[in-house]
């Protein structure tokens, strides 16, 4: 966990880690601790896992740690006003967007879905509103055509850790970080992802579908129908191709992938997953369905 490591490496004392309760995961649905819990326990840091921070008992337990600062990273629970008031130096949030664009739960995926040219991380001082607080430090990064939700997440995670480490070092040195209020213009909300959004609609432009495939890797994974079979689509790219074919029709299928007609252009699918199977390349899929092979 880069941000936990940044806290420890900065010289700050991490007195406790709060994370959500263990959740079922995997095919066996076994209760599984979060990665930050595992890292904290390995480092000998106490871990707390309340279902909510709303009760007076939980808030009193948090206050008993006498924290100077709370650092929040993708916690997933709302911090009530009484919790925000507990630490002497307030609460910091490492948020994976360039605020005020993409406030909310899924900023990384929404940025890719929207075709944004860049993303970044803001170190923000928290207040009662949803990601509305002033920004203290910012790191930026371009979004490439190769980026997926997973790759961008990993890059932003490290950028966030770098910004957090700098903020902590400067604060420990006695500096009060300047905080810039967010502009009122440009506010957008990154609503939580829904699995229903994963279905590919081939009547849409091919570039929009490419962005959908990239954004939903590794979750919830895009899903589309190829010649009557519903598949998970792991990798695809938009290609410029004029055609009069109905949406979803196979225009070509070979060593480069499977080209499907879209509302504008075509989507070349290069990696898929059949029901109950594993991720495979489009060429391997075509070996199982040789009737689809045709030159573009």
Question: Considering only CA atoms, which of 271, 204, 264 is closest in space to residue 239?
Answer: 264
pLDDT at 31: 87
**92-101 pLDDT tens trace:** 999 999 999 9
Homologous superfamily assigned to 195-292: Formyl transferase, C-terminal domain (3.10.25.10)
Tell me if 52 is assigned to a ligand binding site: no
Tell me if 100 is assigned to a ligand binding site: yes
- Percent over 70 (pLDDT), the chain: 99
Is residue 250 predicted with pLDDT exceeding 90? yes
- CB-CB contact of 119 with 96 (8 Å): yes
**121-176 pLDDT tens trace:** 999 999 999 999 999 999 999 999 999 999 999 999 999 999 999 999 999 999 99
**187-240 pLDDT tens trace:** 999 999 999 999 999 999 999 999 999 999 999 999 999 999 999 999 999 999
**51-85 pLDDT tens trace:** 999 999 999 999 999 999 999 999 988 899 999 99
CATH topology of domain 2-190: Rossmann fold (3.40.50)
Band of residue 90 on the pLDDT scale cut at 50, 70, 90: very high
Taking residue 180's Cβ as centre, other Cβ atoms within 10 Å add up to 13
Is residue 296 predicted with pLDDT exceeding 60? no
- Percent over 90 (pLDDT), the chain: 94
Sign of the alpha-carbon dihedral angle for 25, 31, 37, 38: negative
Q: Which pTM does this prediction carry?
A: 0.95
pLDDT at 295: 58
Domain ranges of the chain: 2-190, 195-292
Tell me if 98 is assigned to a ligand binding site: yes
H helical segments located in 67-222: 81-84, 107-113, 149-172, 206-215
3-state DSSP call for residue 206? helix
Tell me if 247 is assigned to a ligand binding site: no
Sign of the alpha-carbon dihedral angle for 32, 33, 34, 39: negative
């Amino acid at each position: 966990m880069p941000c936990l490591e940044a806290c420890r490496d900065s010289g700050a004392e991490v007195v406790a880690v709060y994370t959500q309760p263990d959740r079922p995961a995997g095919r066996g649905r076994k209760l599984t601790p979060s990665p930050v819990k595992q890292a904290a326990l390995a480092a000998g840091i106490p871990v707390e896992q309340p279902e909510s921070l709303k009760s007076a008992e939980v808030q009193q337990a948090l206050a008993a740690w006498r924290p100077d600062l709370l650092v929040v990273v993708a916690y997933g629970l709302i911090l009530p006003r009484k919790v925000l008031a507990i630490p002497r130096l307030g609460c910091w949030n490492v948020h994976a967007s360039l605020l005020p664009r993409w406030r909310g739960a899924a900023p990384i995926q929404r940025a890719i879905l929207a075709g944004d040219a860049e993303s970044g991380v803001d170190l923000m001082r928290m207040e009662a509103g949803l990601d509305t607080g002033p920004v203290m430090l910012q790191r930026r990064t371009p979004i490439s055509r190769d980026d997926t939700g997973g790759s961008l997440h990993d890059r932003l995670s490290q950028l966030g850790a770098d910004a957090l480490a700098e903020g902590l070092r400067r604060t420990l040195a006695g500096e009060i970080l300047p905080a810039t209020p967010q502009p009122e213009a440009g506010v957008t909300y990154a609503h939580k992802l829904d699995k229903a959004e994963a279905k590919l609609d081939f009547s849409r432009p091919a570039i929009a579908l490419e962005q959908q495939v990239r954004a939903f890797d590794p979750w919830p994974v895009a899903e589309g129908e190829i010649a009557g079979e519903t598949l998970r689509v792991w990798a695809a790219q938009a290609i410029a191709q004029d055609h009069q074919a109905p949406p979803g029709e196979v225009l070509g299928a070979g060593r480069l992938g499977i080209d499907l007609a879209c509302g504008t252009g075509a989507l070349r699918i290069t990696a898929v997953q059949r029901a109950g199977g594993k991720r495979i390349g489009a060429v391997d899929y075509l070996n199982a369905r040789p009737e689809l092979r045709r030159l573009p």
